[in-house]
């Protein structure tokens, strides 16, 4: 799965299960979004740095090239993350509607 699809899936699930104590974080794991663990970890950190999620703890030592997440994870979607979902959902619907009437968006 590419980064944008994985991002959408992760945010969508975090939004769907927001406030649910029994949310299974395996639903947003590297395996669930079909990514290499290293790529997934960097994506999750990027999502937090961009303000779309919160609740991750990560560290980076002098000997490491990249930061790494400290387990266990408890990510939560932020308001900015919810806006991302809304904007992308709206754009996808608009693109589908235009395709139905014969318009093409490159």
What pLDDT digit, counting tens, does each position of 36-76 carry?
999 999 999 999 999 999 999 888 888 888 888 888 889 99
* Rounded-to-integer distance, Cα 24 and Cα 13, Å: 10
Across the range 31-35, mean pLDDT stands at 93
Which residue(s) pair with 53 in the sheet?
A: 77
Three-state DSSP class for residue 20: coil
Predicted TM-score (pTM) of the model is 0.80
Task: Calculate what percentage of the chain has a pLDDT beyond 70.
Answer: 86
Which residue(s) pair with 54 in the sheet?
A: 76
**Strands 53-54 and 68-69, bridge-based pairing:** unpaired
Q: Which H/E stretch holds residue 16?
A: helix 3-16
* Rounded-to-integer distance, Cα 39 and Cα 21, Å: 27
């Amino acid at each position: 799965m590419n980064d944008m699809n994985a991002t959408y899936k992760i945010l969508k699930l975090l939004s769907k299960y927001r406030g649910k104590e029994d949310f299974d974080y395996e639903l947003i794991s590297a395996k669930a979004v079909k990514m290499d663990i290293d790529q997934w970890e960097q994506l999750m950190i990027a999502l937090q740095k961009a303000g779309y999620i919160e609740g991750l703890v990560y560290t980076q030592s002098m000997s490491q090239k990249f930061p790494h997440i400290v387990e266990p994870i408890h990510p939560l979607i932020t308001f900015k993350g919810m806006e991302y979902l809304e904007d992308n959902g709206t754009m996808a619907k608009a693109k589908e509607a235009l395709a139905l009437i014969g318009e093409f968006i490159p």
